């Protein structure tokens, strides 16, 4: 799950990847390496697309491979990214990389991803086919941001595909950070001393337009016989598979026919970044005579500009923008004469060539990979912050149907998490995690859940668990200081002599319920003795939540032993103390006892409602009802769904609110408080509110996600902007069970009240 708000910790790239020979693979490698330098090597990894059955021998940053023709593998890749809780996924898109018609299989991956998705568009057709248009629109809908490299691509996305401007980011093509050097240094390295070097590099294909330069070469050579045109790069592997080296062969025949053997050299190989930068450094002029006017990205052009080369190019879209303001020269498409003239003029004017180089190099400083990676990370941070404000519904965890009836009880995960010591705190997914051991807080909650279940179902199979949880509380009680310890390691060693005040309050809550719900005299006697032993400590408590839990527990105990004067005295003392906190802090628009609304919030008005009803004290009752209603209004939307106050910052009195991470314990506290509010007032609005907060677990939340897991019986550990935390620990699972059990009990109480108010049907007198 995401860490601090907007903090990017882990990034995944989906792309073709080296050693696959394509420009996008190289782009992805450079971007990944730069991101890894910022985040850490293991924090930026790759999902690689394979276009050959055997795949490729990738470096270790590739953690997953997808055969591009297998649609189901795209879904599996999405599952892998979700499970690894990646913060942001960056997709490199070009229609030919992905399987399906016009690369449509990619959509199976994108629409399942939980985290923000940034998609870099290397191709943006102005006149798309029907399939391309459909894929691009779906890709735009499921991506949080589309990255383009030119303003022209930005314009096309709006005009042709109706993509909102705010969904597009313009980040330039990255380039290596190389010094501005004299060409002589590299010419000597490659045996090009005393030559005037023209260069075109990249994977060779007919769209490169090399033949245009070759037809211009005789006029150039006639005026400048020292000219050498270097054509650097292997034939594009897709072209090689389809047609072999027919295009290169045709170029070599042209060289022979034009008698250019001394002035043209082919390097038919896939060169390393270091060698490529060396050849760029040796070039006096860089040429991109491409044929396609709609090309929105050219890595080779970007590299040349970033290295400070004088560039001559045809006016495709990327070149028009990158070479503007005197950073290069444009010539018409397929025009050898214009190409020859431009080359001749720049050769003859070295001062203009040098000035052009400087303008290009200075412009390229913003394009070095480190700056480009910063642009992607800034975009990712913005998206993560935006998800906290405007989370989107998630298909992967969306309920299959609207839940109307209460789900059935499933104790499978409760039993899975419990051993003969107690309930373990945490789980990794659904597997109990022994590393963190046990805590009294969770065993108190587990005792409450087990007792409520027995009271509802009279299922004796739950009683051994009642004994385990009660035994844990007994062992947690430290008779020397009369406080409950909280944390126990898996090897049964206490990690402290006393837990927090809240721990003590929760233990009293559980023991009080054990007194009123005890399945037998033995359990009743045990729980009562332990509660009385810990009662004196309550008088020193000051934490509002400790007071609240203790008061709820004392109320339950007094249901069974209403004449216990000491318990009644302590209840009055603690109730008054909590109420005074509200009186001291509450205002008309802030009916709360603190300057922040934090955790287990509804338990506080819940305690006031019980005290106000049974001490009795009408002021406490009204304060409790008012504060509970305020909490409910804060956490419900116009559409009746629930948006709990998040744990990552909570809600401060000045209005700053955390949207995530939302915790199940908050929903549980509210369901319980609403149930007690109904018992105190018989107002039907409270069962309605209770059901709304129960429904938070089953999809009525900010991301429309299932927090409760019907398959395991567990509950996922909180809600984030990218969906639920997939771990199913004790606190979350117990929060669900207690909420469900409370709702079931409340449903019975409402039904009984309705039946009591319904008059019996009249009986016909037949006498």
Neighbours of 760 (CB within 10 A): 5
**Is 359 in the same domain as 464?**
no
pLDDT at 758: 67
**Domain C-terminal end among 354, 389, 424:** 389
Q: Of 199, 259, 203, whose CA–CA distance to 231 is shortest?
A: 199
Say if CB 579 and CB 608 are below 8 A apart: yes
Q: Assess whether 36 and 156 both reside in one domain.
A: yes
Residues 44 and 117 in one domain: yes
The phi, psi pair for 46, rounded to 5°, reads -130, 140
Name all contacts of 36-41 with Cβ < 8 Å and 24+ positions apart: 36/61, 37/370, 37/373, 38/373, 38/374, 38/377, 39/8, 39/9, 39/10, 39/11
Decide if 661 is inside a domain. yes
Beta bridge partners of 48: 15, 65
* Residue 401: inside a domain: no
pLDDT at 395: 59
With helix as H, strand as E and coil as C, how does 170-215 read?
A: ECCCCECCCCCCCHHHHHHHCCCCCCEEEEEECCECHHHCHHHHHH
pLDDT of residue 764: 44
* 352 and 385 share one domain: no
DSSP string, 438-468: EEHHHHHHHHHHHHHHHHHH--GGGHHHHHH
pLDDT for position 765: 43
Residue pointed to by tokens 């009916």: 591
φ, ψ for residue 47, nearest 5 deg: -105, 110
Q: Can you state the angle between helices 299-306 and 23-39, rounded to 10 degrees?
A: 50
The pLDDT tens digits of the residues spanning 265-295 come to: 999 888 888 888 899 999 999 999 999 998 8
Alpha carbon distances (Å) from 364 to 40, 281, 329: 26, 15, 16
C-alpha distances out from residue 108 to 75, 77, 113, 135, Å: 6, 10, 9, 11
- Residues 6 or more apart whose CB falls under 8 angstroms from that of 614 comprise 555, 558
Specify the length of the chain in residues: 767
Mark the ranges of the chain whose per-residue pLDDT is less than 50.
1-3, 763-767
pLDDT at 153: 94
Q: Which domain holds residue 280?
A: 183-363
**What is the tally of structural domains in the chain?**
3
Cα–Cα distance measured from residue 198 to residue 546, given in angstroms and rounded to the nearest whole number: 79
Question: What residues contact 84, with CB distance under 8 A and at least 6 apart?
Answer: 10, 12
- Residue 29: give its domain's CATH number: 3.40.50.2000
Asked if 623 and 671 sit in the same domain, the reply is: yes
pLDDT at position 215: 96
Q: Are residues 651 and 671 in the same domain?
A: yes
Is residue 87 included in any domain, yes or no? yes
Q: Note the pLDDT of residue 757.
A: 74
CATH number of the domain to which 458 belongs: 1.50.10.10
Residue 767 within any structural domain of the chain: no
Beta sheet of 227-232, edge-to-edge order: 264-267, 227-232, 196-201, 285-288, 310-313, 329-330
Q: Which residues of 33-56 are buried (b: 16+ CB within 10 A; e: fewer)?
A: ebbbeebeeebbbbbbbbbeeeeb
Residue 396 lies inside a defined structural domain of this protein: no
Same domain, 163 and 215: no
Are 318 and 230 in contact, with CB atoms under 8 Å apart? no
Same domain, 647 and 741: yes
**Claim to verify: residue 601 and residue 692 sit in the same structural domain:** yes
In a domain, 398, yes or no: no
Asked whether residue 402 is domain-assigned, the answer is no
pLDDT of 403 reads 53
Q: Do residues 132 and 254 both lie within one domain?
A: no
Query: Does residue 333 sit in helix, strand or coil?
Result: coil
Residues 319 and 421 in one domain: no
Same domain flag for 341 and 479:
no
What do you get for the CA distance between the two ends of the chain, in Å? 75
In a domain, 529, yes or no: yes
User: Token pair for residue 526?
Assistant: 């045990």
In this prediction, residue 404 carries a pLDDT of 62
């Amino acid at each position: 799950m995401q860490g601090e708000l907007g903090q990017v910790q882990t990034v995944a790239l989906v792309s073709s990847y080296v050693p696959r020979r394509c420009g996008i693979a190289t782009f992805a490698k450079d971007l990944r390496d730069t991101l890894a330098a910022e985040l850490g090597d293991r924090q930026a990894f790759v999902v690689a697309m394979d276009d050959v059955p055997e795949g490729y021998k990738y470096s270790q940053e590739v953690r997953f491979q997808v055969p591009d023709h297998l649609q189901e593998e795209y879904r599996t890749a999405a599952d892998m990214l979700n499970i690894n809780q990646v913060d942001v996924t960056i997709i490199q898109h070009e229609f030919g990389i992905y399987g399906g018609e016009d690369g449509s299989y990619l959509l199976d991956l994108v629409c399942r991803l939980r985290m923000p998705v940034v998609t870099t568009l290397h191709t943006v057709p102005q006149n798309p086919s029907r399939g391309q248009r459909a894929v691009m629109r779906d890709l735009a809908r499921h991506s949080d941001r589309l990255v383009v490299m030119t303003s022209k691509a930005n314009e096309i996305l709006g005009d042709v595909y109706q993509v909102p401007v705010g969904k597009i980011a313009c980040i330039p093509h990255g380039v290596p950070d190389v010094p501005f050097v004299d060409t002589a240094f590299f010419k000597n390295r490659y045996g090009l001393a005393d030559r005037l070097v023209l260069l075109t590099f990249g994977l060779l294909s007919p769209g490169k337009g090399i033949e245009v330069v070759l037809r211009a070469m005789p006029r150039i050579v006639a005026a400048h016989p020292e000219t050498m045109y270097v054509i650097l790069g292997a034939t594009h592997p897709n072209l090689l598979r389809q047609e072999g080296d027919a295009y290169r062969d045709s170029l070599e025949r042209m060289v022979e026919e034009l008698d250019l053997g001394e002035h043209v050299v082919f390097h038919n190989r896939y060169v390393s970044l270091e060698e490529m930068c060396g050849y760029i450094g040796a070039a006096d002029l860089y040429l991109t005579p491409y044929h396609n006017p709609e090309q929105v990205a050219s890595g080779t052009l970007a590299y040349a500009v970033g290295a400070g080369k004088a560039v001559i190019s045809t006016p495709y879209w990327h070149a028009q923008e990158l070479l503007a303001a005197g950073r290069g020269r444009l010539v018409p498409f397929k025009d050898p004469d214009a190409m020859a003239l431009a080359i001749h003029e720049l050769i003859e004017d070295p001062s203009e060539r040098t000035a052009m180089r400087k303008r290009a190099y200075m412009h390229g400083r913003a394009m070095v990979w480190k700056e480009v990676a910063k642009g992607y990370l800034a975009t990712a941070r913005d998206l993560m912050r935006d998800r906290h404000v405007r989370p989107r519904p998630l298909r992967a965890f969306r309920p299959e149907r609207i839940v109307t009836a209460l789900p059935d009880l499933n104790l499978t995960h409760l039993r899975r998490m419990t051993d003969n010591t107690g309930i373990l705190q945490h789980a990794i997914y659904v597997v109990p995690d022994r590393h963190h051991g046990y805590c009294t807080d969770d065993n108190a909650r587990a005792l409450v859940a087990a007792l409520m279940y027995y009271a509802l179902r009279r299922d004796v199979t739950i009683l051994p668990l009642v004994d385990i949880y009660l035994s844990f509380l007994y062992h947690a009680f430290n008779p020397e200081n009369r406080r409950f310890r909280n944390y126990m390691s898996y090897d049964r060693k206490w990690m402290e002599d006393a837990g927090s005040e809240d721990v003590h309050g929760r233990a009293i809550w559980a023991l009080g319920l054990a007194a009123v719900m005890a399945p037998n005299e033995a359990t009743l006697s045990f729980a009562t003795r332990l509660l009385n032993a810990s009662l004196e400590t309550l008088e020193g408590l000051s934490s509002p939540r400790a007071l609240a839990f203790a008061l709820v527990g004392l109320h339950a105990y007094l249901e069974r032993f209403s004449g216990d004067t000491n318990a009644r005295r302590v209840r009055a003392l603690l109730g008054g103390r909590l109420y005074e906190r509200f009186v001291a802090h509450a205002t008309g628009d802030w009916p709360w006892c603190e300057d922040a609304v934090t955790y287990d919030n509804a338990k506080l008005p819940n305690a006031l409602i019980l005290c106000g009803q049974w001490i009795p004290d009408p002021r406490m009752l009204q304060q409790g009802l008012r504060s509970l209603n305020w909490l409910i209004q804060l956490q419900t939307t116009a559409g009746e769904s629930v948006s709990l106050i998040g744990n990552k910052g909570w809600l401060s009195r000045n209005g700053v609110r955390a949207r995530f991470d939302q915790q199940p314990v908050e929903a549980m506290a509210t369901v319980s408080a609403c149930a007690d509010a109904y018992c105190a007032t018989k107002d039907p609005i409270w069962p309605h509110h209770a059901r709304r907060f129960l429904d938070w677990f089953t999809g009525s939340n900010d991301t429309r996600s299932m927090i409760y897991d019907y398959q395991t019986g567990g509950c996922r550990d909180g809600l984030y902007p990218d969906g639920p935390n997939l771990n199913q620990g004790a606190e979350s699972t117990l929060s669900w069970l207690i909420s469900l059990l409370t709702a079931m009990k409340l449903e019975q109480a409402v039904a009984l009240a309705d039946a009591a108010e319904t008059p019996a049907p009249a009986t016909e007198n037949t006498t």
